[in-house]
Amino acid sequence: MEVRAVAKDIPISPRKVRLVVDAVRGRKVDEALTMLRFMPQNAARDVYKVVKSAAANAENNYDIDANTLWIHRIYADDGRTLKRLWRRNMGRANRILKRSCHITVIVQDREE
């Protein structure tokens, strides 16, 4: 059975989150959580929370054993982008794009 968890509008660029997400894709949940705890990237903290939430959803809502869970699908999509202006000299302006992302984790039970 597939169980999912989603975190929306995380204020980190999706490109940075995808580096962390690619490292844990296809792994067991316990192994992925251990990896995420020791990663130096700031995005690892948010991915850790979503993976842990998906595992808790499976355990509490569907009575699935947490030891048999593995990450079936995980991805980081584009969220909303805040557009700001940066003042420059001579009356000009540059655009600043403050990107955000949505992190989705789908875990599945696998019999060993």
Residue range 66-90, pLDDT digits in tens: 889 999 999 999 999 999 999 999 9
CA 6 to CA 79: how far, in whole Å? 12
- H or E stretch including 97? strand 93-98
* Contact by Cβ (8 Å): 68, 87: no
Specify the pTM: 0.91
* Contact by Cβ (8 Å): 22, 73: no
pLDDT of residue 5: 97
What proportion of the chain, given as a percentage, has pLDDT over 70? 98
pLDDT of residue 58: 96
Kindly tell me if the per-residue pLDDT of 63 is higher than 70: yes
Banded model confidence at residue 112, pLDDT cuts 50, 70, 90: low
Superfamily of domain 2-109: Ribosomal protein L22/L17 (3.90.470.10)
CA angle 38, 59, 10 (to 5 degrees): 50
pLDDT of residue 61: 94
State the CB neighbour count (10 A cutoff) for residue 40. Answer: 5
Kindly tell me if the per-residue pLDDT of 32 is higher than 80: yes
- Segment 39-51 shows an average pLDDT of 97
Which value, to the nearest 10 degrees, does the dihedral of the CA atoms of residues 3, 1, 58, 44 take? -50
What proportion of the chain, given as a percentage, has pLDDT over 90? 95
CA 54 to CA 5: how far, in whole Å? 5
